[in-house]
Amino acid sequence: MLSSCVSNRKKTLQSSRVAPTIPKFSTSTSNPFPMYASPHFESEVEDDIIPLFRRGEDFNYGVEFMLLISFLETASRESVEDALAHLQKLIIHYSSFIVQATSGCCLDHMDSLYSHASVIRFPSIDDFKLFKESTEYKDMWTSKFHPVTERCLELHFVVDPVGNQLM
């Protein structure tokens, strides 16, 4: 379920005997998990109380997909904006398979490993797979994101109510 596509273009291995360099992650002595990412991002939200608080039948089930991205320092602003615009176009294109999508820039990106985040809710695992395995998504990632991305973290999880009461 958890796939990490961490790439560091600045470091390459000289031979197979050289151990790879492990990236430095933020650590906290109060946190039992030494590696973590805590993105705090800003984005626009719908002007409706139901989706704002994630209430209603659309939010009782589904798949939550989170995409955290850090762009290369050498990437031009135009290429980063172009990549993000293509992601938004793809979200709009697949809007009939998406319950809610939120994307934005991390506010504390200097203290975080990632500069941008997207959270997309799909109504089912099939809709998530349709989006993620589409040629449009793969082409967008290969042509727009891969050339300018330093690291990314993609994760998804199934949302299913516990018990017999729905919130």
pLDDT in tens, 8-54: 333 322 222 333 333 334 444 454 444 444 454 444 555 555 544 45
User: Does residue 28 lie within any of the structural domains?
Assistant: no
Q: Does residue 57 or residue 69 have the better pLDDT?
A: 69
Residue 120: Cβ-neighbour burial (10 angstroms; 0-12, 13-18, 19+): buried
End-to-end CA distance of the chain: give it in Å, rounded.
26
Computed over its alpha carbons, how large is the radius of gyration of the chain?
Answer: 18
User: Going along 8-115, which residue ranges are E strands?
Assistant: 41-42, 62-71, 100-106
User: Does residue 9 lie within any of the structural domains?
Assistant: no
**CATH at residue 75:** 3.30.70.100
Give the pTM.
Answer: 0.65
Query: 106 pLDDT band (50/70/90 cuts)?
Result: confident
What is the extent of the structural domain holding 118?
Answer: 53-159
Query: 60 pLDDT band (50/70/90 cuts)?
Result: confident
Q: How many domains does the chain divide into?
A: 1
User: Does residue 65 lie within any of the structural domains?
Assistant: yes
Helix (H) or strand (E) holding 126: helix 125-132
User: Does residue 106 lie within any of the structural domains?
Assistant: yes
Provide the 8-state DSSP code for 41.
E
pLDDT in tens, 146-167: 999 999 999 998 887 666 655 5
User: Does residue 30 lie within any of the structural domains?
Assistant: no
